[in-house]
Structures are given as structure tokens and as C-alpha cells.
Structure 1
């Protein structure tokens, strides 16, 4: 009869051990559009999300940028800090998993004790001073009938996955910041070269004006205007140099180098602007590490509800303890000195002033908070994609008009200078044409830089290197183990 009761009790415990009070998890529902509104006909392809990816910045075909981007992941302290946070989350998960296994402990003590002469119920033949020598080994195991430990493990796993996504998010952000700073710097290099050429042109114009003034053809006003144009161009060149230094310093910090020891030589080469396929909006949930991190934190909060609710039920554990105890050191480890105990223990809190209920309410509120943050992250992701798509789309149209304006401005300057040499117009017409032509050229260069920055912003908004790895499950969960964008996926068709 006792054996039957024991079997029934063990079977009941086995069934109850599968119990969990965490709500059934579902990622927060979000509205996903079927297409990107700002996507234009210029998109050439759709990415294959199951293709392994890496080094998205190589689509710009710039060896210097490639070299700098590699240094971000290797030397940037923000990446190192994110890696350390990931290691912390991994260690926490290991701590939570340890609760699934028995705890084994050993104890040994050699003591000399004296008991009070007036100790209650002390026997008349009991000595006042005696020795207690003990060696003991114990095993304890929490049955986890209510899923507390399993939910702690689930929460720890979700937190670790969120930290993985945070690490990728930091990397992606820093890589995009580096690319943006680099393209701004190269844009300033182009403007510096333009201003250097312009200064040479203005110096020739000033010499011409001085020659005409010496011959009595040009007035002092013409000379003054030519000198003003030249000095203004020189001042602009100094301003470009100052702005370039700031971007150079930013690149140094991003690559983990002191700004004092870092330098990038000027380079005048038009950057390659890739065509970036965006795919369908639903794939955005598979690409962006910040979305993956937000979703994993929702799962973590969901599991913490199970941990909080399990506290309302008794904590049952099994214990086995055995060893030897004697009042003498020899003989000590003998059969008559054996001690042991075995059996379950139950701990239940009967009253705590509402503490457990408050912890449960806090866990539910955390789930609601993380769910709202997840939705906000998804909305921001779609906004950022649409913003950069709109930039690329409309800046492309603007570039066409800007090129036509530049051609017209250059023709106007040529005609104005020719008519000035012929004495038909004053130097004011030349100055006006020079200013317009220079401003138009600078605007064209700035426009090219803005298009590059918008392309970097779009790649970052799409999640850079994040894609599904072919595993089953929800898109957001797949994103946690995703890899980086392969250059062949993003490169434009030739």
C-alpha cells in the first residue's frame, strides 16, 4: 500500500512538473503594409533573405571605407561594452539553468563545545564539555512543480538573445555612422578641390581686372569686386578645412584611434551610389536587430509573469544528506557513527502584505511596457525606411535638375567673361555669374553627398546585415540569429 501511494505521488509530481503559469507567448500584433509607399521604379531587385550576408558597406566599392569599417568592430569601445553586456546576459542564463540540476554540498567540522549547566532538559550524566566531529554530504533538488525555474531560464534565454541583437544594433549603428562621416568627409574633399580650382580662376580674373584697370578700361569698383570674390573663396576653403577636421576626428573615434594620431589623406573620386533593393515590408521584421531585441524583451517579460505567479505556490524540494558524526577523532568514519536524512521539504509563504501580488502586477506592467516599445520600434523602422526611400527617390530627381542648372550656370559664366573682355558688360555681371556657378557646383556636390547618406540611412533602416537564416519560427525570433548583408544582394545590376 505504501509503495502504491509512493508511485501515485511520484506520478502526480511528474505531471505537475510540466506546469507553467507564464501566459502563452505571442509577439505583439503590428500592422505591416504590403509595400513601401516611397519605393520607386529605380529599385532593381529584391533580396534573397536566406542568403548568408556580410560587409554591406562593400557595395560602395571604396577600399578605404572597407578598411575603416573592419576596425569599428575590432577596436570601437562601444562595441566592446555591448559585447560585455552580452557576456553578462549569457552568464545570467547559465545561473538560471543551474537551478534545473541538483545541488551537491559537502561539510566537515571538528569542534569542541561546552553546554550550559542550566540548559533546560539537560541530563544528569551529560558532560559539560564534549567534541563534535562531523563530515557530511548533502544533495538537494528543487522539483520546480510550478515552472518557476523553467520560466527563469526562458526569461534568461530571451534576455541573452536581446543582448545579441543589441550588440548587432550597436555595430550597425556605428558602421552606419562611420560610413556617413566618411562620405561627408569625401564630399568636403571634392568641395575643397573645387574651391582650390575656383581660387585659381579668381586669381586669373583679378589679374585680368588689374590689367584692364591699368589700361584705364576697368574701374576701381571692378578690381574691388574681383578681390572680394577671391577672398571669399579663400575663406570658404578655410571653412571646408575646419569642417573636414571634425569628420576626420569622428572617424578616428569610431575606429578606436586617438584623433591626434589619425589622418585621412584627401581623395577626389566620385563615390559609387549603389541601388538598394528593399524587398517587402514584412522582411523588415527579419532584418532589424533593434526589432529583434524589442521582441525578445517582450518574451522575457512574459516569462517573468510565470516566475512571479509561481511564488504563490509552495516550493517543494527533495533532500538527501549523509555522513559521520562522533565525539572523537578516532575512530570517526565508522558505521556506528553514521548519520543520514532523506525526504521532501515544503516552503510556503502564507502572508507577505501583498508583496507577491505587487510583483505579479509589476511583471504584467513590464510586459505591457515592452509590448508598447516593440510596436514603437516597428513603427519607427517603417518610418526610417520610408524617409530614406523618399530621400533617394526625390534627390535623384533633384540631381537631374541640378545638373541642368550647372550646365546653364557654366554657360552664363563663359558668356559673361567673354562680354566683359569685350567691354560690353561691367564686372558685376561676371561676379554674379561666378557666384551662381560656384554655388551651383557646391549644391551639386552636396546633393551627391546627401544621396550617399540617404543610401547609408536606408541600409541601416533595413537592418544592414539582418535577415532570416532559414530557421522556422516567428520572423522576429529568426532575426536574433541572423547574419550580415552579402554585397551581391545589395549591389546594383550592371
Structure 2
């Protein structure tokens, strides 16, 4: 009996030592070119990045800060992501338990009636038998080729990938809430411009009626001026309708039913952060989607290791023991104890190409994951370049647009005076006023687009989740 125990112990120790014979490889990050990811004529060497600034330092409006905090708590996409994270954590825990043996227990009762014409039934008077059994089974697989280790690492990488996806959702949510909020403020500002213009339009109708009575203009001029006033009323109606749509969007982002959204004013906003990009390589640690893509690559790399281990033999040790008796009264006596231990190697030889197919699929998935990782980095660089170009363009346009607005407002004022003295016709007046209104509305939109570009640049650099 002792010799058998020694043999089992020796086999177990040998299997443990053989775990050093891993065929599994260790993951190494592939070399990716990150030097020219940003389309920027000035090569950046500054290691600081806008992404390292917390979102409450970027968005300083207290009302907006409250909405972002509420969205991070109540948004349904965030809550769904948290459930995905909990499921990934459970899978990771299972992967860590792969080194431990499995243990199961069972109890059963077997009743058998032998046929009188059977081999044993013809000899026995009592052909009825009962057997009572209680068993426990312990099974353990030695990780000789690193399969269990790779499974564990794959589960851990999958969990970290889900965590990164959760962070990406947070980053996108913060950017979307901020964009929607500033768009609400910009539409409010456009409504103020349009309503101010409407007052001027009403005054213009009164003026043109007086000029008609004086014989200076015709009825056509009166109707054109009235039509211009109606067009302004339609602009205001559309802007107010857009407010409702934006408030409904914001409510959904906050995880609430559609309702009115309290907010400050567009004129009180001063979002002018220090625009620093940092070196492109920082995207590998700042962008959650890039981080998730790399963890997906690691998962598939480890699953390739698992598939490769299928070509090699597996060593299992299985022990079964318990109590077995045909007499219920003697079931728990020492004479009812039984036990057996089975150890052995299993080498796949021919199994309809299943092992090779799994390995080829795993290698293909690994290559696909690498390409997705590379693509995510290129996409991140493009988004940074796009947002920076948009910010620079809108900043320039604001300077020019302010000059345009100033010139057109003065032209509109001059045209009213010239019309009164008969030195301009009503078409010139209508044109100048329409141009002035459009320019003022565009100036508000340019400022919103500048804010939006800052938000997109912040998100593109990976800001918001840290």
C-alpha cells in the first residue's frame, strides 16, 4: 500500500516539475510606428497631454459638471457596461482556479432484479439485490505545456479589455453630454439673436408702411419686408423645436425621461484650455479603445497558446473513493471503504483534424486582433488630427466672422437710414439685414464648433476616464 502511495506521489511531483516544459510563449507588444500619427507640421516633443487633465478642470460650468456626474451614475450604457464588467470578472476568477483540482461527491442506491433464466439468476434463490454507495472523485490535470496558464492569462486579459471598454464608454459619455450641453447654450444664444432681429423686423414693417403712405415705396416693398419678418419667425420656431430635441437627448444621456434641462448662458462660457497633444505613443496608454484592442490581442495570443498545447499529451490524475455496501446497516462500516487511483497520459493521434483546425483558427484570430490593434491606433491618430484641424479652423473663422458681423450690422443700420431718405431701395435693405442675421447666427455656431472641437480633441487624446 505504501509503495503505491509513493508511486502516486512521485508521479504527481514529476508532473509538477514537467510544468516547466511550457510550449506557450510570453506576449510581447508588437512594434508599432507612432512617430507620425498626428498630422502636425510642428513635431511635438512635449510629454504633457490634454488627456491628463481631469474632466472637471476642462468643463468648469457647475451645471455641466452636475450633469456629467449624474450621467456617469445613471446612464444606461454605463450600467450595462458595469454588468459586462461583472461577468468578465467572474470569468477571470474561473481562469485563476484552473490550477486547482476538481472535486465532486455523490450518493446512489441501486436495486437489481435478476432474471430466473439468466446465468446467475438460475443459481441464486434470492435474485433481488440492493447496493448503497457514497463516492467522492478528485481529478487534477498537470499544466505540462502551459495550457492552464494561458487560459488564466486569456481570462485576465479579457477582463482588462472589458474594463477598458467601460472606460471608453465613460469617455464618450462625458464628451456627448458636454457637446449636447454647449449645443443647447448655442441654440439659446441663436434664439436671442433671432428674437432681437424680429423686433427690428417689426420696426422695419412699420417704417416701410410709412414710406408707402408717403409714396416712396410700393406695395411690393411692404410685402417683401413682411415676408422677411415671417422668415425670422420661422427661424425662431425651428430653433425652439431644436431645443426640445436637444433636451430630450440630454435626458436620455442622464438616464431620465425627457424633461426640460436647466442651464447657464453661452456668453458666460470660457472653455479655453491649454492645447497640448503629448507624444503620439501616449495614445497606447491614454485611449481606452486602443488599450482594449491590445488586450484583445493578448487574449487571442494566449488562446493560440492554448490551441497549440492540444498537439501534446495531457497528464491527468483521478482518484475515486467512498463507501459501498449491499447491506444498509453496514454501509458506514470500515469494511465498506473502497478507493482507486487512475493516472495516465492521453496523446491525440487522429481526431478528424480538430486540433489542427482549432490552432489555425486561433492563429487567424490572433492576426486579426493585431490588425484591429493597429487600426485602432491609426484611427486614434486621425481623430486627434481632425479635432486639432477643426479647432484651428474654427478659431480662425471666429476672428474673421466677428469682423463680418460688425461690417454687416453697420451696413444694415446704414441701409435703414438711406431707405428713409430715399437713397437706397428696399431690396438692398432686405439683403443687408438677411446677411447680418445669418452672420450673427453663424458666429454663434462657430463658437460652438470651437468648443465641440476642444471636446473631441480631449476625447481623441484619451481624456475623461482617468
2:80 maps to what in 1? 81
Contact 2:190 2:441 survives alignment (8 Å): yes
Q: Give the corresponding residue for 1:489.
A: none
The answer as to whether partners of 1:21 and 1:310 remain within 8 angstroms in 2 is yes
> What are the residue-to-residue correspondences of 1:478-489 with 2, within 5 Å?
484=466
SS at match of 1:146: coil
Per the alignment, residue 313 of structure 1 pairs with: 312
Describe the SS at the equivalent of 2:261: coil
Shift in alpha-carbon separation, 1:142–1:7, aligned structure 2, 3 A: closer
Aligned equivalent of 2:447 = 448
Alignment partner, residue 216 of structure 1 = 215
Partners in 2 of 1:44 and 1:412 — Cα distance?
47
Q: 1:268 aligns with which of 258, 265, 271?
A: 265
Structural mapping, 1:297-376, within 5 Å: 297-376=296-375
Q: Give how far 1:277 is off.
A: 2.3
SS at match of 2:99: coil
TM-score, normalization: structure 1?
A: 0.86
Please list the CA deviations of residues 129-175 of structure 1 after superposition, one character each: whole Å capped at 9, or x if unmatched.
21211122232222122222211111111111111111111222222
Q: 1:267 to 1:195 in 2, by over 3 A?
A: farther
CA distance in 1, matches of 2:45, 2:59: 16
Closer/same/farther in 2, CA of residues 41 and 209 from structure 1, 3 Å limit: farther
Question: Do 1:115 and 1:129's aligned partners in 2 also have CA atoms closer than 8 Å?
Answer: yes
2:13 is aligned with 1:18:
no
| Cα separation, partners in 2 of 1:98 and 1:75, compared to 1, 3 Å | same
1:400 aligned onto 2:399: yes
Higher mean C-alpha deviation, range 103-112 or range 195-204: 103-112
2:89 and 2:179 map into 1 onto residues whose CA distance is 33
Indicate if the aligned counterparts of 1:189 and 1:266 stay in contact, CA closer than 8 A.
no
Aligned partners of 1:60 and 1:272 also within 8 Å = no
1:312/1:349 contact within 8 Å kept: yes
CA distance in 2, matches of 1:219, 1:152: 87
Distance (Å, rounded) in 2 between the aligned partners of 1:48 and 1:266 = 26
Aligned to 1:231: 230
Q: Does structure 2 retain, via aligned residues, the 8 Å contact 1:148–1:310?
A: yes
Q: Distance in 2 between matches of 1:274 and 1:110?
A: 79
Cα separation, partners in 2 of 1:350 and 1:125, compared to 1, 3 Å: farther
Take 1:309 and 1:35, find their aligned partners in 2: how far apart are those partners?
Answer: 35
Q: Secondary structure at the match of 1:321?
A: strand
Show the 5 A alignment for 1:126-165. 128-165=127-164
2:251 paired residue number: 252
On the 8 A contact 1:158/1:296 being kept in 2, the answer is: yes
Aligned mates of 2:14, 2:226 — CA distance in 1: 97
1:411-454 superposed Cα distances (whole Å, 9 cap, x missing partner): 21222222222222222222121111111111111101111111
Task: Quote the Cα distance in structure 2 between the aligned partners of 1:309 and 1:394.
Answer: 53
Residue deviations 1:218-239 (CA, integer Å, cap 9, x gap): 3323322221221111111111
CA contact (8 A) 2:109 2:133 kept: yes
Contact map agreement 1:21 1:307 (CA 8 A) in 2:
no
How far apart, CA to CA, are the structure 1 residues paired with 2:416 and 2:46?
Answer: 44
Structure 2 regions of 5+ residues with no counterpart?
none
For structure 1, which segment, 88-97 or 161-170, has the greater mean C-alpha deviation from structure 2 after superposition? 88-97
User: In 2, Cα distance between the equivalents of 1:463 and 1:436?
Assistant: 40
Aligned counterparts of 1:294 and 1:432: Cα–Cα separation in 2: 54
Alpha-carbon offset, residue 116 of structure 1? 4.4
**Matched residues in 1 for 2:57 and 2:147: separation?**
47
C-alpha distance in structure 2 between counterparts of 1:464 and 1:39, whole Å: 23
Distance verdict in 2 for CA 1:69–1:128, change over 3 Å:
same
Aligned CA distance change for structure 1 residues 41 and 18 (closer, same or farther; 3 Å) = closer
CA deviation map 1:161-213 (0-9, x unaligned): 11111111122222222222222222111111110000011111211221222
1:44 Cα offset (Å): 10
Cα distance in 2, alignment partners of residues 423 and 44 from structure 1: 62
Residues 415 and 432 in structure 2, CA contact (< 8 A), matched pair in contact too: yes
TM-superposed CA distance for 1:78, in Å, is 1.7
Q: Is the CA contact 2:19–2:143 (under 8 Å) kept in the aligned structure 1?
A: yes
Aligned residues: 461
- Offset of residue 295 of structure 1: 0.2
User: Separation in 2 of the partners of 1:217 and 1:289?
Assistant: 68
Displacement after TM superposition at 1:247 (Å): 1.5
Taking only aligned residues, the RMSD between alpha carbons, in angstroms, comes to: 2.7
Q: Note closer, same or farther for the CA distance 1:113–1:86 as it changes in structure 2 (3 Å cut).
A: same
Given that residues 187 and 449 in structure 1 are in contact (C-alpha distance below 8 angstroms), is that contact kept between their aligned partners in structure 2?
A: yes
Instruction: Say if 1:39 and 1:406 are closer, same or farther in 2 by CA, change over 3 A.
Output: farther
Contact 1:326-1:332 at 8 Å conserved across structures: yes
User: What are structure 1's unaligned runs of at least 5 residues?
Assistant: 467-483, 485-494
Assess, with a 3 A threshold, how the Cα gap between structure 1 residues 445 and 93 changes in structure 2: closer, same or farther: same
Residue number in structure 2 paired with 1:30? 32
